[in-house]
Structure 1
């Protein structure tokens, strides 16, 4: 280990603690009410450190909402199982990735969050739809419909905690949404 490794490690730990605190604060307070001072206090550091690493509240928010959906390789999945596999994948993401929950909460009330959510879903789900129907307007429409299902369920299940949706078992969510997502991606155009 060199003398430069220790400061780099401390820097990485500081960045990680800032991001963790910011995710929690943005999720709890929304973008507008979250402050750099509160985030720094939650991270146990001086607010100047947040500015040092991220430049501004906007820069910190951009780092917090940097998300990759890491969609499964559908080439190895039977086409009739695609909807169920995708719904299961999204449930895993929503349940185990606080970034997506933060992005959804903030995206509902903040245009920058909404724009990032649109970018994530159009940039990552559109190619998925194109795999089944080719490029064009139909693929974009289908991708938007898939997003409506997974984002809608995430909103009522994880953000609003609407009883019936929040109380469904994972298997029930997959059973109800899987066929709909499947139809959006693979059914002939109505």
Structure 2
């Protein structure tokens, strides 16, 4: 493969991924089609299949997600809840691909497993660091924190409940921060 051909190939792949991400976010997994994604990327649908094999494999590429959670051990313990809420709101506000994964996970058992793994590993690992890696101690805390974060995301970004959508980030941090603080770093 020549360098020019390799660049075109990488460019085509990037265009497909960008188009797929947008379609999956806007329409959800079920309604997004390979034909529509290919049209958005200005390529033949066969090229999507050539690079990714199937719609499911394309979605998996698009929904491979890193929450980029901060190191909780590096911040004052009494600020963890507020900082984590702010971090996650910033993610939801700037990267809608997590919303696509959440929407799809509600209806698809395979994607639900992926969402469980995403939150189960990344959130669990981050919380466990506060407890010297003790997974047993961190697991219920991480699980309850995930219920709060996913509930907020569902109501604000997917269902778009007007009172929740109308809240400022500061209001959300003020309401959710103490709850997340209790779950992640508080006394039981």
Q: What TM-score range do you get, normalising by the shorter chain?
A: over 0.9
CA contact (8 A) 2:63 2:98 kept: yes
**1:117-136 matches, cutoff 5 A:** 117-133=115-131, 134-136=133-135
What is the aligned partner in structure 2 of residue 14 from structure 1?
A: 12
What is the aligned partner in structure 2 of residue 52 from structure 1?
A: 50
CA contact (8 A) 1:15 1:53 kept: yes
Specify the SS of the correspondent of 1:95. helix
Distance 2:106 2:120 in 1: 17
Report how many residues are paired: 187
Distance 1:176 1:159 in 2: 20
What is the aligned partner in structure 1 of residue 169 from structure 2?
A: 170
RMSD over aligned Cα, in angstroms? 1.5
Distance 1:9 1:95 in 2: 31
Q: Which moved more, 1:152-161 or 1:4-13?
A: 4-13
What is the aligned partner in structure 1 of residue 38 from structure 2?
A: 40
Q: What's the CA shift for 1:33?
A: 2.5
Distance 1:38 1:160 in 2: 24
Distance 1:27 1:130 in 2: 31
Moved over 3 A (4+): none
1:132–1:73 Cα change, 3 Å: closer
CA contact (8 A) 1:31 1:110 kept: no
Distance 1:109 1:25 in 2: 17
Structure 1 residue aligned with 2:24, among 5, 23, 26?
Answer: 26
Specify the SS of the correspondent of 1:86. helix
Specify the SS of the correspondent of 1:6. helix
**1:26-175 matches, cutoff 5 A:** 26-133=24-131, 134-175=133-174
Q: What's the CA shift for 1:131?
A: 2.2
Q: What's the CA shift for 1:150?
A: 1.0
CA contact (8 A) 2:71 2:126 kept: no
* Contiguous gaps of at least 5 residues in structure 2: none
